[in-house]
Amino acid sequence: MSSILKAENISKQYRLGLVGTGTISDDLKRWWHLARGKEDPFLQVGAENNRNTKATEDYVWALRNIDFEVKTGEVLGIIGRNGAGKSTLLKILSRVTAPTTGSIKTRGRIASLLEVGTGFHGELTGRENIFMNGAVLGMTKAEIKQKLDEIIHFSGCEMYIDTPVKRYSSGMTVRLGFAVAAHLEPEILVVDEVLAVGDAEFQKKAIGKMQDLSTGEGRTVLFVSHNMVSVQNLCTKLLLLENGRIVFSGPTYEGIDFYLNAEKKLQVEDIAKRVDREGKGGMVVNKIEVDRETILKTGGELKIRIYFKKENKSVHLKKMGISILNIKSERILNLNTDLKGGIPLLQEKEFITCIIPQVPLVEGSYWINVAIFSEDDMEDFIEKAKEIYINPTDFFGTGKMVDPNLGSVVINHYWN
């Protein structure tokens, strides 16, 4: 197969705290060096893209020395922790932003779905946006008309296709955006993790369409996701980014194993020191305890105690949620205080406990995500805040153990 995309020595530098490349004085220094035929002086400075460390320099390298090649018909998965540089790389490949150094060589049209509403004008209807996107990709009106019915049907937005896109929900916008990007015959389809906004049925449909594009039509797909199951099922090759650099490039299965093992090594037990968190920061989670941690078992009781503190005294706790993910980062359970009627009388408390009377998880390692909300917004979110291990047990009392390879969840049931 011939190469359809080649990235050579791609690096991207940003100035912390500012929009753009920096100050006027910095730009003048750049111009003066370039005018004299010398190298940009700021290429020799800049911190590594590591969110776990405190900034000590004005500049940071979001990406550094990225080299890879994609062949026609390949599906390249790009994975890594939050802030590793995945979205920055896709923006560069999609020509949304330019690299600081390096070059990209591509053949054919590139269609991108990088965030909700990418390429859409909110005042235009869904139908009008389809034609506008097609025109941007260089297609004629006649060519777009041939694909129009297929795009609308795939998106599932028939009822609202003549409604302005600004009225769409985020899920509807992603549906239409993916349908447009996938059906207007791009040689390269670039998809960021926005598909997570869609429901499970559409995610499955989108994965199937990307498989059809690569195997049936010989088109190339670049796919970013935190869902290792989707990556494993779809991708033929994998790039793993860490702190803005490629740390693995190769077969999908090997890359996923490398990533999951690296995640375990990177986990910080004292989550009060974790800086790779999201939210406004008015309240923060500073400790997680799991009772009976040494004897957790399928069907046994699990107590997860979450300690938090207020950084802003005017912020009040409204909601808390935890998710449990399997070792492949696939969400298995989602537990939320809203589902149980809210949090009573917790304004002055320092912790809240989630109790699962009978753990429905089979043997294996699992991650716990935690999020805390005020009345206004999400205050704190920590991905993979704690790891737990569920031990096997004779859950059904029949002397037969549950095979963890056949699924992650077990429930009691009867046969008549």
pLDDT at 294: 47
Strand-by-strand arrangement of the 277-278 sheet: 277-278, 378-390, 364-374, 317-326, 331-336
pLDDT at 1: 63
pLDDT tens series, the chain, 416 aa? 688 999 999 988 887 665 555 566 666 766 665 676 666 655 655 555 555 555 556 678 889 899 999 999 899 999 988 778 888 899 898 888 888 888 899 888 888 888 767 778 889 999 999 999 888 877 888 988 998 999 999 888 899 999 999 999 888 888 888 888 888 888 898 888 777 666 777 878 888 888 888 888 888 999 988 877 788 888 989 999 988 899 999 998 888 888 877 766 555 557 888 877 888 888 899 889 887 554 688 888 889 999 998 888 888 888 899 999 988 788 899 999 888 877 765 555 688 889 999 999 988 889 999 999 988 789 999 988 888 888 778 888 887 778 777 788 888 888 88
Q: In this structure, is residue 366 part of a structural domain? A: yes
pLDDT at 67: 93
Q: At residue 252, what is the residue type?
A: T
pLDDT at 15: 73
Strand ranges in 215-363 using DSSP code E only, listed in sequence order: 220-224, 237-242, 245-250, 277-278, 283-290, 302-310, 317-326, 331-336, 351-356
Indicate the SS3 state at residue 40: coil
CB 80 within 8 A of CB 224: no
CB 105 within 8 A of CB 201: no
Q: Note whether 82 and 188 are same-domain residues.
A: yes
Q: Note whether 87 and 198 are same-domain residues.
A: yes
pLDDT at 292: 57
CATH number at residue 333: 2.70.50.60
Structural domain span for residue 122: 67-263
CB 410 within 8 A of CB 362: yes
Tell the burial category of 256 from Cβ atoms under 10 Å away from its Cβ (0-12, 13-18, 19+).
buried
Q: Note whether 246 and 280 are same-domain residues.
A: no
Q: Which pair of structure tokens corresponds to residue 177?
A: 């955006």
Q: Note whether 231 and 370 are same-domain residues.
A: no
CATH number at residue 240: 3.40.50.300
Task: Tell me the whole-structure pTM to 2 decimals.
Answer: 0.65
In angstroms, rounded to a whole number, what is the distance separating the alpha carbons of residues 141 and 198?
A: 29
Give alpha helix (H) positions in 184-305.
200-211, 228-234, 252-266
Instruction: Write down which residue in 263, 294, 322 finishes a domain.
Output: 263
Instruction: Write down which residue in 222, 240, 263 finishes a domain.
Output: 263
Q: Note whether 150 and 258 are same-domain residues.
A: yes
